[in-house]
Amino acid sequence: MTTPRTDSGALGDPELGGGDQPDADPLGAAQLVEPGAVTLVVPTFNESENVGELLRRLTESVPARLPCEVVFVDDSTDTTPDVIRDAAQDCPFPVTVLHREEPVGGLGGAVVEGLRGAGSDWIVVMDADLQHPPALVPELVAEGERTGADLVVASRYVRGGSRAGLAGGYRVAVSRAATWLAKALFPRRLHGVSDPMSGFFAIRRSAVAGAVSNGALQPLGYKILLELAVRCRPRAVTEVPFAFQERYAGHSKSTAREGRRFLRHLTELRTASPLARMVGFGLIGLTGFLPNLLALYALTSAGMHYLPAEIVANQFGVAWNFLLIEVLLFRGRRAHRHWADRVGRFALLANADLILRIPLIALLVGTAGMTVLPATALALLLTFVLRFTATEALVYLPRPGRGAARGRTRA
């Protein structure tokens, strides 16, 4: 849950030069400031050594060129919110701190909270560690206005850009591999984006308003640009080169755990459409033949009759498929039902497939006049489609009244 820090400087605090505080209206009918203005959304986690310098550099480079406001969304366990409050007293623009007691969605979830609280027609997302140069903020907005783009990405990989601030060959290799993987999985939606791993970009408020208000954004980890580009589908995208700087102070939050979250995020984004989920469901089902056959071989070798062995061995394949589907395909929907409920429903549907398939083959052969092989292939296809549809609807779709509420919590 997000709780505003009323003692840390809210938008419109007279001490910060913001006038009357606007009514709470997350990307709805809130009155926008003048065209060309920008809301800077800065997620923070224990950045007390950096935020004062960040505000100082923003003061030097942004308000003289366009009106701005800064929204910090803070998940810190240190004094970062207090440091922001103190530094904001000298800023010529309004500053807000939204401190989250529960960091749902990680850095990406923090950015979504910032998008919800933004009041300008342009939103710039940047880190607090000064690896993203504040002086480039006006250039991002100006490029968007000049080209009519909905999304302007600060890229390390276009001419004039540099990744010099990435410490060590390992981080460079990981960044390049992640970029290649993301672009390979989403060639159309990331067309024209050379740096989908960038955390520094400008996006029009109108391009994200719908997704924020209806809970469509489901960020996981720190690659929020990928989430916005895939789910919001900005109308046009352009890029501005930038030199990735070294950290001003503190330590990088990039860890092996964040890498695993990134891979999970890619999987969830790639399987967001029903067709993609069906393909994934089928591929997982094919891998289930291996544990099934191994179990069948072991049971029959131990002396069990092949008919009961078939039934028992099938459960090994069902368990394998269930585990992979839980982890790879429907991870984001597991909270809708208790795990025991999901296991029971999935096992029932998987075994019902066997019961349905044999009578269906007999019907196709006896009534439709098909030979055994084509009838078996058609029965497999029909029962697969039915099993996928039933699994999604009866095991992983939220029960009435639960899905919407959960979506609002995550957004």
Which CATH number covers residue 69?
3.90.550.10
pLDDT of residue 402: 45
pLDDT of residue 270: 63
Helix axes 306-324, 289-301, angle to 10 degrees: 150
Q: Do 222 and 87 lie in a common domain?
A: yes
Contacts of 73 (CB under 8 A, 6+ apart): 2, 41, 42, 43, 44, 98, 100, 110, 111, 113, 114, 117
Q: Is residue 269 part of a domain?
A: no
Q: Which portions of the chain are predicted below pLDDT 50? A: 1-36, 401-411
Residue-wise pLDDT for 113-141, tens only, equals 899 888 899 999 999 988 999 999 999 99
pLDDT of residue 327: 77
Contact present, 261 and 305 (Cβ < 8 Å): no
Q: Do 46 and 112 lie in a common domain?
A: yes
Contact present, 284 and 328 (Cβ < 8 Å): yes
3-state secondary structure of 162: strand
Q: Is residue 397 part of a domain?
A: yes
Alpha-carbon separation of residue 287 from 279, 291, 391 (angstroms):
13, 8, 18
The three-point CA angle 111-114-116 to 5° equals 115
b vs e for 175-198, b when ≥16 Cβ sit within 10 Å of the residue's Cβ? Answer: beebbeebbeebeebbeebbbbbb
d(CA 358, CA 160): 64
The total number of structural domains in the chain stands at 2
Contacts of 166 (CB under 8 A, 6+ apart): 172, 175, 244
The pTM score is 0.61
The DSSP secondary-structure symbol of 20 reads: S
Q: Do 136 and 225 lie in a common domain?
A: yes
pLDDT of residue 34: 43
d(CA 120, CA 40): 9
pLDDT of residue 370: 80
pLDDT of residue 179: 76
pLDDT of residue 269: 62
Q: Is residue 323 part of a domain?
A: yes
Which one of 205, 222, 253 terminates a domain? 253
pLDDT of residue 239: 94
Residue-number span of the structural domain to which 372 is assigned: 274-410
d(CA 334, CA 191): 32
Q: Do 245 and 335 lie in a common domain?
A: no
Contacts of 74 (CB under 8 A, 6+ apart): 5, 43, 44, 45, 80, 81, 84, 97, 98, 99, 100, 110
Q: Do 16 and 89 lie in a common domain?
A: yes
Residue 211 has a CB neighbour count (10 Å cut-off) of 20
pLDDT of residue 102: 84
d(CA 131, CA 286): 45
pLDDT of residue 125: 94
Q: Do 288 and 379 lie in a common domain?
A: yes
Q: Do 349 and 220 lie in a common domain?
A: no
Token code pair at residue 161: 């850009």
